[in-house]
A and B are shown apart, each in its own frame.
Chain A
Amino acid sequence: MAKVVIYSTPTCVYCKMAKDFLTEHNIEFEDHNVAEDEQARAEMVEKSGQMGVPVIFIDDEMMIGFDEARMRELLNL
């Protein structure tokens, strides 16, 4: 099973969509709230070289923003 990590903020609609999508498909994920967790924020900026949320990792594949089609592909859905 792929390891899914998401960096998000509570107010970001696309983050919510991504998380809803994962929940809907029974996929476990690690969620970092970068609005509060400064360390996670720094980590996200460092890894992705940018500041937009969500940043989603599916194993080593990084996705900036929520792209349902690509997510389906990477998760074999």
Chain B
Amino acid sequence: MYDVLIIGGGASGFTAAIYSARKKLKVIVLEYEQGGQTALQPEIWNYPGYTGLDGAKLMQTMKKQATDFGAETKNFVVEKIYSEKGDDGHEIFVVEDKNGNQIKAKSVIIATGAKPRKLGVPGEEEFYNKGVTYCATCDAPLFGGKKVAVVGAGNTGLDAALQLTKYAEKIYVLVRSSVKGDPVTYDKLKKDPKVEFIFGVETQEIKGDKFVTSLVYKDKESKQTKELEVSGVFVSIGSIPNSDFLGDFCEKNQYGQIVINPKTNATSRPGVFAAGDVTDIEERQAIIAAGEGAKAALQCYKWLKSNH
């Protein structure tokens, strides 16, 4: 039986693990997407104290810090979560994977993060990994000398475009309404002759034979349908929380984000806390996820002290 069960091995999960382990609690971190979204960032420029930090390295260090303080880690995909009455009469929490393996704990911190949002247009599924990708860090180098489209101009989209400037011959950044990413990156891209921003775009279809050959979109102003010849489509239109496995275990909002008390990271269920991108906080940043993980762990520690 663990004191704290942390689901998710990203920035918030491992920060929560560091704080819990330093309180000498018995902690386990269940990781499946190792290092979370932070690990997919090759260069992080806004994590205070570091410049141009490799996200994967940051996550390795966090993990080592957590395990050095005594936290355990396990590759374990949670399929089910519920509670039952423990031997001492307290409510305890149980998670199960698809093979029915169980892990039990007195408290839970959910830090499962988010995954890329899909466009939901024809061709997207069919050409996944055949030109359609959600991870510029992983796949940008494969598009050397090719024409590509980046859909979305938030930070993820702009970062994808920036990574692609090293490889691709031409990069179209397709913007629905306005550029929402950091102006620093936007300015850099505007100066690059390989990059072209197209505004008022509604993506309609991704076409190809074996691999992607073009992207069809509607120009929202002229209402005309246009086709861009590209062999890569980098979808970067935000994220959706990894919260399906929870069912109605704790309260979620209309977007599937776990509703937390922003002061305490408590969910609607006593003994269950949540942190980072899976929650209904507004900003999605590595530093914020880490901070939220720390908050959740400290509150969880207090809760354990007064309830167990």
Task: Give the residues in chain B near A53, CB-CB below 8 Å.
Answer: 138-139, 142
A50 interfacial by beta-carbon distance below 8 Å: yes
Instruction: Mark each residue of chain B from 211 to 234: 1 if its CB lies under 8 Å from any CB of chain A, else 0.
Output: 100000000000000000000000
Given the interface contacts A11-B138, A34-B141, does A16 sit within 8 Å of B56 by beta carbon? yes
Please provide the chain B residues from 226 to 256 with a CB less than 8 Å away from any CB of chain A in the complex: none
Would you call B40 and A13 a contact (CB within 8 A)?
A: yes
Would you call B34 and A12 a contact (CB within 8 A)?
A: no
Q: Which residue of B lies closest to A15 (CB)?
A: B138
B176 interfacial by beta-carbon distance below 8 Å: no
A57 interfacial by beta-carbon distance below 8 Å: no
Task: Give the residues in chain B near A16, CB-CB below 8 Å.
Answer: 56
Would you call B141 and A35 a contact (CB within 8 A)?
A: yes
Q: Which residue of A lies closest to B137 (CB)?
A: A11
Q: Which residue of B lies closest to A14 (CB)?
A: B138
A-B contact count (CB 8 A): 58
Bin chain B's interface residue count: 20 to 34
B83 interfacial by beta-carbon distance below 8 Å: no
Taking the nearest CB of chain B, how far is it from the CB of A40, in angstroms? Answer: 11
Q: Which residue of B lies closest to A64 (CB)?
A: B129
B2 interfacial by beta-carbon distance below 8 Å: no
A38 interfacial by beta-carbon distance below 8 Å: yes
Instruction: Mark each residue of chain B from 148 to 189: 1 if its CB lies under 8 Å from any CB of chain A, else 0.
Output: 000000000000000100010000000000000000000000
Would you call B144 and A35 a contact (CB within 8 A)?
A: yes
Please provide the chain A residues from 1 to 59 with a CB less than 8 Å away from any CB of chain B in the complex: 9-17, 34-36, 38, 41, 45, 49-53
Would you call B34 and A13 a contact (CB within 8 A)?
A: yes
Task: Give the residues in chain B near A34, CB-CB below 8 Å.
Answer: 141-142
Would you call A51 and B137 a contact (CB within 8 A)?
A: no
Would you call A50 and B138 a contact (CB within 8 A)?
A: no
Task: Give the residues in chain B near A38, CB-CB below 8 Å.
Answer: 144
B110 interfacial by beta-carbon distance below 8 Å: no
Task: Give the residues in chain A near B35, CB-CB below 8 Å.
Answer: 13
Would you call B137 and A12 a contact (CB within 8 A)?
A: yes
Bin chain A's interface residue count: 20 to 34
B39 interfacial by beta-carbon distance below 8 Å: yes
Would you call A41 and B142 a contact (CB within 8 A)?
A: yes
Roughly how many angstroms separate A68 CA and B138 CA in the complex, as a whole number? 18
Given the interface contacts A51-B211, A68-B75, does A11 sit within 8 Å of B131 by beta carbon? no
Would you call A52 and B75 a contact (CB within 8 A)?
A: no
Given the interface contacts A13-B35, A35-B144, A38-B144, does A52 sit within 8 Å of B138 by beta carbon? yes
Taking the nearest CB of chain B, how far is it from the CB of A10, in angstroms? Answer: 8
Please provide the chain B residues from 45 to 78 with a CB less than 8 Å away from any CB of chain A in the complex: 56, 75
Instruction: Mark each residue of chain B from 12 to 44: 1 if its CB lies under 8 Å from any CB of chain A, else 0.
Output: 000000000000000000000011000110100
Binding site for A on B (CB under 8 A): 34-35, 39-40, 42, 56, 75, 129-131, 133, 135, 137-142, 144, 163, 167, 210-211
Binding site for B on A (CB under 8 A): 9-17, 34-36, 38, 41, 45, 49-53, 64, 68-69
Task: Give 23 A-B contacts (CB < 8 Å), ordered by A residue.
Answer: A9-B138, A9-B141, A10-B141, A11-B42, A11-B140, A11-B141, A12-B138, A13-B39, A15-B138, A16-B56, A17-B34, A34-B142, A35-B141, A35-B142, A41-B142, A41-B144, A45-B211, A51-B129, A51-B133, A52-B129, A52-B138, A53-B138, A53-B139
Q: Knowing that A12-B135, A36-B141, A52-B138 are A-B contacts, what are 10 other residue pairs whose CB atoms are under 8 Å apart, sorted by A's residue number?
A: A11-B141, A13-B56, A16-B56, A17-B34, A35-B141, A50-B129, A50-B130, A51-B131, A51-B142, A53-B138
